Chain A
Amino acid sequence: MFSVSKILAVVVTIAISTLACASPQELWVCADHNNLPYSNDRQEGFENKIAQLLAQDLGRKLQYVWWPSSPMFASKIFKRGACDIIMGVPSKAYDLAEPTQPYYSSTFVFVSRRDRKLEIHSFDDPILRNIRIAVPVVDDGATPAEQELAQRGIVRNVVGYTPFGDLSKDSQPAELIAAVARSDVDVAIAWGPLAGYFAQRSSVPLKLTPICAPTEPRSLPQRFSISVGVRHGEDELRQQIDAELTHRHAEIRALLESYGIPLVEPDSSPEACK
């Protein structure tokens, strides 16, 4: 269930235009209330678990501000100072929050049914011109998959799924993976954690293949490192979290693996496409 009281707390914060200051007794986390495998308000996501570890190590009580994950979410809520940290921000080239060291790195993957026996590693695989492909689409930009396909003129057999989908349903981004299981599409191109988690739980066996590094000069990254975001200037908190992420490295890695997340080494390049 959506936590109404927490939202109202934010509304009040906005209405009186004050910054909720970080109480040293509490660790406030901005998170999506319905976005497995990352987070939900039953605290079942891996980001919930990592936030719990951090709060515990910092000796602070974990508190959440829940909000639907729209592109405006972060600037509206986090920038207003409603919380101390936001989980799952890109480790590079991101202005909203100051990233800590990465706590994981993953890759976009091709997801298909095992029984289809599709061998797709590259955007240049000719079969991509003849099968139905599901991609996430985001306004005012492009997911790497969308852009790579568009550059190759592969557009007529592509089905879009917004990562927001229908917020009234559970974990909408998973629709992308469900579409593969149902054979609505032949392949989905999805971010690793989403694909890994839902593939693990799919009644239809699914295959995940990391996308190899395209050789085109205009090719886009497929691997991203992910950090905890703290507010700019909160160096002490960032350093504390950095220390805890190092300290808990093995535990966090095991946790991520238990969620089925395909992990890659930070700053590593994907295997070159053959």
Chain B
Amino acid sequence: MSNMLRSIVLVLSGTLAFGSAAAAQKNGSGVTTVPGQLSTIHLVSPLPDGEWRLPAGDYANTRFSPLDQITTKNVQNLKIVGTMSTGIPHGHEGQPLVVNGVMYVVTPFPNNLIALDLTKPGFPMKWKYEPRPDPKSQGIACCDVVNRGASYGDGKIVYATLDNHIVAVDANTGKEVWRTLVGDINVGETTTGAPLIVKNIVITGDAGGELGVRGKVVALDLKTGKEIWRAYHSGPDRDVLIGPNFKPFYKKDQGKDLGVTSWPPDAWKLGGGTVWGWISYDPETDLIFYGTGNPGVWNPDMRPGDNKWGITVFARKPETGEAVWAFQIVPHDAWDYDEIMENIAVDMEWHGQMRKLLIHPGRSGFVYVFDRETGELLSAEKFEPTNWAKNFDLKTGLPDVDPTKVTHTGVYARQVCPSSTGAKEFVPSALSPRTGLLYIPAHNTCMDHEGTEANYIAGTPYLGSSTTMYKGPGGYQGELVAWDVANAKKVWGIKEPDFPVYSGVLATGGDLVFYGTMDGWFRAVDAHSGAVLWQTKLASGIVGDPITFKGPDGKQYVAIYSGIGGWMGAVALPSISIDDPYAALGVTGAMKKIKEVTGPGDVLYVFGF
């Protein structure tokens, strides 16, 4: 066994080959206003100024950096200044962190943490921490063995391993400070999302709704790793941490023990509602926000009712976990529309009045805008072709569902848009306070949900719903959408003919928007006009999120992972045959061409001048 392990380590350690770096310079602390900021926008949490300490850079999840050395005028001079191979050819989702002149990279399984010294020439590896998660977890993760990154707090880098350990690693030494098990792979649970650290509390979700996991969020003490609270997303109010301070805006979300009563008896025990996306925080209202995945494992016909709290946006107090409001976006999901997407907190002029907004660009095809104090839905407008619901009634908070687009096992439902992969995936948007635009990495896929086919898991023949996904109306499959938040409309879009946009987005003070494509183009576009100002082709498709930072030499850099994978990108990995349109849970039909244009990759790129 130890020989085996050594051979793995050899394979995984990869090569380190970094470009320039120079003398140290202290990074500044975060600011909440930037030059050129629209007067109609007020930022609610400090922006990352030089460093990148949290998954989205800031608490509010704007993914906006005020750095402005790289501009629309000079971006065409960007070049590769550093690369590093992690040695693990799986989906490289998420983003690195940059803290005190060190860059931290979390790899896909086996979830190593690699620290790169940005103060030395060649950005050499400082240390590598190997948590050695249980190999069984690879067989349990649904779609690929991905990880979406770490958070920094109090001298520690904190992240999740696939086998549900939250690990805290000393940012200087690479030594493990604590590890806490928060879930059980034996019941199908894995952890892939990035934790958020708020007020010395580590908040993390889970994954595995497709295996009957009862989704939850857990909070740990940053100092010790001890659990402080946990909130489930099905079951009685006491498990959901719903108490006297819970005041959902709409009647549909009000009532006692809805996590039980909106299901057939006992069905909530396999209730799903996992949290594998992003968690945000607003210091002004002192609330954390996140969305939950689809309700659990049952065939929709078997779980009549709203199935709370699947596909719900929650607002909670970080210290106690108590729920303050909740809004179930999709009652009784029949489409697998997890709404674990980012929730961006910003104050903005809304119909002539400054409002505390929470913006949720949804997998279900609408940009949802809430009042983040109350959970009132202020707007829900489609950003890609969407037909499962006509619109949302802002008085009731309910969608007007088209019954012909509801999927049932054994029944055909055709041309359902978006498909189960959604009008966007977990990959996060960015919001620029200089343009007032939200930059959404979007998909345009529809699906036919067809009858049944025999399938088998040792012990139980079953009838799989066979879902075929394909390009939606308009003949394109992906789009970077620039969305005018205040007016709830699309301003421009950059369409991708063959693939969804499956990378995160970064907006900067230089009025640039960075993102990548699944066929490997990394782009900078003009934040105002959408003109593509610079692009370069990377080794593998991009499913990670760009970040920007100021190096110890005082210069601005941009970093991105290149390594296709994840649910849709897994088609490019060797295990899945493109001849089978139902493999990778239905996405291969929509992703047929991916193998022709990219292969697996494992590279961190850093760009600069």
Contact = CB atoms under 8 A, between A and B. Distances in A.
B459 A147 contact: no
Given A7-B135, A94-B455, A138-B297, A160 B270 contact: yes
Contacts of B266: 159-160
A79 B576 contact: yes
25 contacts: A12-B11, A15-B88, A16-B11, A38-B459, A71-B211, A75-B583, A75-B584, A80-B574, A87-B458, A90-B456, A139-B212, A143-B463, A144-B462, A147-B301, A147-B410, A147-B463, A155-B304, A156-B265, A158-B264, A160-B302, A166-B187, A168-B184, A194-B460, A218-B410, A224-B454
Contact of A4 (B1, B139, B185, B582): B1
Interface in A173-223: 173, 191, 193-194, 218, 220-221
Contact of A142 (B141, B264, B299): B299
B454 A138 contact: no
A122 interface: no
Interface stretch (B2-10, B49-57, B67-75, B193-201): B2-10
B267 interface: yes
Contacts of A252: none
Contact of B299 (A69, A147, A165): A147
Contacts of A70: 139-140, 188, 211, 457
Contacts of B264: 155-158
B374 interface: no
B458 A167 contact: no
- Identify the interface centre among A87, A94, A149, A162: most chain B CB within 10 Å of its CB: A162
B577 interface: yes
B270 A75 contact: no
A9 B3 CA distance: 11
Contacts of B336: 140
Interface string A33-70: 00100110000000100000000000000000001111
- Identify the interface centre among A15, A138, A167: most chain B CB within 10 Å of its CB: A138
- Identify the interface centre among B141, B301, B452, B454: most chain A CB within 10 Å of its CB: B454
B36 to A, nearest CB: 48
B5 A79 contact: no
B451 to A, nearest CB: 9
A147 B452 CA distance: 11
Interface in B419-453: 452-453
A162 B212 contact: yes
Given A67-B139, A68-B136, A156-B264, A140 B585 contact: yes
Contacts of A90: 454-456, 461
Contacts, number: 220
B4 A8 contact: yes
- Identify the interface centre among B143, B411, B458: most chain A CB within 10 Å of its CB: B458
A109 B11 CA distance: 49
Contact of B453 (A71, A93, A157): A93
A167 B457 CA distance: 14
A2 B137 CA distance: 13
A141 B187 contact: no
Nearest to B209: A139
Contacts of A165: 187
Nearest to B87: A15
Given A95-B582, A139-B212, A149-B302, A8 B8 contact: yes
A12 B188 contact: no
A141 B463 contact: yes
Contacts of B458: 31-32, 35, 38-39, 47, 69, 87-88
Interface in A1-34: 2, 4-5, 7-12, 14-17, 31-32
B276 to A, nearest CB: 15
Contacts of A39: 458
B32 to A, nearest CB: 43
Contacts of A11: 4, 8, 135, 138
B580 interface: yes
Contacts of B138: 11, 14, 76
A71 B210 contact: yes
B456 A88 contact: yes
A194 to B, nearest CB: 6
Nearest to A32: B458
Contacts of B12: 15
Contacts of A138: 297, 457, 460, 462
Contacts of B303: 155
Closest 7 pairs (CB-CB, A-B)? A150-B301, A141-B464, A139-B210, A8-B4, A142-B299, A162-B212, A167-B186
Contact of B8 (A4, A15, A169): A15
Contacts of B460: 136, 138, 143, 163, 173, 191, 194
B129 interface: no
Nearest to B142: A72
A7 B409 CA distance: 35
Given A15-B12, A142-B302, A164 B188 contact: yes
Contacts of B411: 218
A168 B136 CA distance: 11
B575 interface: yes
